[in-house]
């Protein structure tokens, strides 16, 4: 059985006050969902605060990115080792905003994934096609290429200590969610593709859906066989809305 995981990606949002209110608002929903793992990914500057606020709660957390290097002359970056020291369990790797706005290639992402695992964190590998690729019917091919780069670099066995998040770029922050059927088809394709490498890993790996998930559509998505949770952007910034997504995963 794969445990559902509901993860919030706060992106570049938050103040000390809003972080405190949000975490406090998630303590009970997380505690009352014992079969669901609840996690948040704040901007790195809030990690210390989030670590303190989540102590003794069921809320886990992670970073939104990590550098390839452990230390050195890499201005503005965060080391996987530091992120681990600050209590992160997870690190997002290859979010579409990193791929597009920061020109991260599949190869860079495969290196980040390796660095994150070496640092003792679980990478949440984000993959997904653009609208153009979706309309051209290239979704399966795109996610295969994105996965293959990580498998080539790290081996399929590395996915035993990782999470996959399928996030169609056209659904991120647009209010357009993939229907449960569209998402399920891609998730099943991902699992099937991985099966060609290792059936046991394919059966066990959590595959989250991301892209305009909210309370109102979460349950339909989570009802699908190969959807094991969600990576949530906008709706994770409001405790009540995020709590209703957690509720949908129970």
The Cα 178–Cα 217 span in angstroms is 10
For residue 154, the minimal CB distance to ligand PGA (Å) is 22
Question: Which position among 97, 129, 167, 187 bears the catalytic label?
Answer: 167
Tell me if 147 sits within 8 A of 127, measured CB to CB: yes
User: How far from 130 is each of 74, 102, 140, 204, 238, CA to CA, in Å?
Assistant: 30, 16, 12, 27, 27
143: Cβ contacts below 8 Å, ≥ 6 apart: 127, 128, 129, 166, 186, 189, 190, 193
Residue nearest ligand PGA (C-beta atom): 233
Nearest to 150 by CA among 204, 90, 109, 205: 109
Catalytic residue status for 69: no
For residue 235, the minimal CB distance to ligand PGA (Å) is 6
Q: Look up tokens 């975490």; give the residue.
A: 23
What secondary structure letter does DSSP report for 94?
S
- The 161-180 contact track toward ligand PGA, x by CB under 6 A, reads ------x----xx-------
For residue 165, the minimal CB distance to ligand PGA (Å) is 7
According to the binding rule CB under 6 A, does residue 123 interact with ligand PGA? no
Which of these ranges, 27-35, 98-106, 205-213, 241-249, lies near ligand PGA under the rule CB under 6 A? 205-213
According to the binding rule CB under 6 A, does residue 233 interact with ligand PGA? yes
What secondary structure letter does DSSP report for 238?
S
Tell me if 156 sits within 8 A of 149, measured CB to CB: no
Measured from the CB atom, the residue of 156 and 164 that comes closer to ligand PGA is 164
Which of these ranges, 27-35, 49-57, 145-153, 206-214, lies near ligand PGA under the rule CB under 6 A? 206-214
For residue 55, the minimal CB distance to ligand PGA (Å) is 26
Interacting residues toward ligand PGA by CB under 6 A: 9, 167, 172-173, 210-213, 231-235
Catalytic residues: 95, 167
């Amino acid at each position: 059985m794969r445990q559902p995981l509901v993860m919030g990606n706060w992106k570049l949002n938050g103040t000390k006050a809003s972080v405190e209110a949000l975490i406090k608002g998630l303590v009970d929903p997380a505690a009352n969902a014992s079969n669901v793992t609840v996690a948040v990914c704040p901007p790195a500057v809030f990690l210390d605060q989030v670590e303190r606020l989540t102590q003794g709660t069921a809320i886990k957390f992670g970073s939104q990115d990590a550098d390839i290097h452990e230390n050195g002359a890499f201005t503005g970056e965060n080391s996987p080792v530091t992120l681990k020291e600050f209590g992160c369990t997870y690190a997002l790797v290859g979010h579409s905003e990193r791929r597009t706005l920061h020109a991260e290639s599949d190869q860079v992402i495969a290196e980040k994934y390796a660095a994150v695992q070496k640092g003792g964190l679980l990478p949440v590998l984000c993959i997904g096609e653009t609208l153009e690729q979706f309309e051209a019917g290239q979704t399966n091919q795109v996610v295969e290429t994105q996965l293959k780069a990580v498998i080539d670099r790290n081996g399929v066995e590395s996915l035993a200590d990782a999470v996959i998040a399928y996030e169609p770029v056209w659904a991120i922050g647009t209010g357009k969610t993939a229907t449960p059927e569209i998402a399920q088809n891609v998730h099943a394709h991902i699992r099937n593709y991985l099966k060609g490498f290792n059936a046991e890993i394919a059966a066990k790996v959590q595959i989250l859906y991301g892209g305009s998930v909210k309370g109102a559509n979460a349950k339909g998505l989570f009802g699908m066989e190969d959807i094991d949770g969600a990576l949530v952007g906008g709706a994770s910034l409001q405790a009540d809305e995020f709590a209703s997504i957690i509720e949908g995963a129970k």
